[in-house]
Structure 1
Amino acid sequence: MRMNKKEIHLHYTTLHLTEADRETQDLVQEAQRAASRAHAPYSKFKVGAALLLSDGTIITGSNQENAAYPSGLCAERVALFQVGHLCNGQSIRKAAIAVPHVMGEQIIPPCGACLQVFAEYRNAQDSEIQVILANGSGHLLVAPDISTFLPFSFTNKHLSSD
């Protein structure tokens, strides 16, 4: 059997925070503020997330570590689970994730577990979630949708309905 060759093209833009629109700048600043509230005594790796909802509400989260490492939670999931609990029915328009202590041009993406949770929310709302990754130097990577980072996500469509 011969399979058709398929290619994946990643769509994203890189720019500096000063070049972004006001809404994006404000969302990144909220993510940076959230990072300052991270509980990261072990890794010292502080991350903040800010989610802009369809009604204009911004929900934030920061990573929360625990001495038993698997018991902690990433900033993205802290924010996403708040949306699921507090804002039922609102869709997520944009997500800003900030890692303020990373300088230079390096951009840190969400971990695989966070990407999977993002994919679940994106699938449930059936609309794109723009993702903005920010570092401490003001460098941004802007992707039109979470699928840029996880093009082959596992969703409820893969579960058997039997």
Structure 2
Amino acid sequence: MTALSSEVRDDLVAAARLASSAAYAPYSRFHVGAALLFDDGEVISGANVENASYGLSLCAETAAIAAALNAGRRGGLVAVAVFGGPAGADGAAVAGTDPITPCGRCRQVLNELAQLGGTDPEILCAGEGHVMVTTLAALLPHAFGPASLG
């Protein structure tokens, strides 16, 4: 993993915050945005989309990965920023005190794209005033993915 510059990290977190303003979260009122950075510098983002049948809801990371795959992306994932909290006046999330991390399902979905390109992306978990930096491998050790199928 190549460490990102603080400027790139800040820009990616800002993209995730902006994405959170597109969230459809009438039930939880918890807006989440995710921004994916690829090796060519492109950023693809997504926001959470809730459904009255709660199990049909989509997390921001899953929405962003779906957009990336639909755009033909098959690897090259360098970093992911996740930003979330209750909606503010501008519709974007107002980060809570603690950084939020991708849920287990999203870790697995992120792993699929990362394994396609053989990367271990940096994960930026944004909270109020600080960002926790980790890797996908640290969040999902011994991951199952395409390489596991032989």
The residue aligned with 1:149 is 139
Matched-pair identity in %: 36
Once the two structures are TM-superposed, the CA of residue 157 in structure 1 deviates from its matched residue by 3.5
| Pairwise CA RMSD | 1.6
Q: Any stretches of 5+ residues in structure 1 without a counterpart?
A: 1-19
2:79 equivalent to 1:94: yes
Quote how far apart the aligned CAs of 1:60 are.
0.5
CA shift digits 1:18-70 (9 cap, x unpaired): xx711110110010011111000001111000011111111000000010111
Aligned mate of 2:14, from 15, 26, 29? 29
Distance 1:30 1:157 in 2: 31
CA distance in 1, matches of 2:116, 2:74: 10
1:123 matched residue in structure 2: 115
Partner of 1:17: none
| Matched residue type, 1:21 | S
**Cα deviation, residue 113, structure 1:** 0.5
Counterpart of 2:89? none
Amino acid at match of 2:104: G
Q: Write out per-residue CA displacement over residues 70-126 of structure 1, whole angstroms, 9 at most, x where no aligned residue.
A: 11100001001111110334511111000143432x122111110011111111110
The DSSP-based 3-state class of the residue aligned with 1:47 is strand
Name the SS for the 2:31 alignment partner. coil
User: Is the CA contact 2:48–2:59 (under 8 Å) kept in the aligned structure 1?
Assistant: yes
Aligned length: 138
> What is aligned with 1:6?
none
* TM-score, structure 1 normalization: 0.79
Provide TM-score, normalisation by structure 2: 0.85
CA contact (8 A) 2:115 2:147 kept: no
Q: 2 CA distance for matches of 1:116 and 1:92?
A: 14
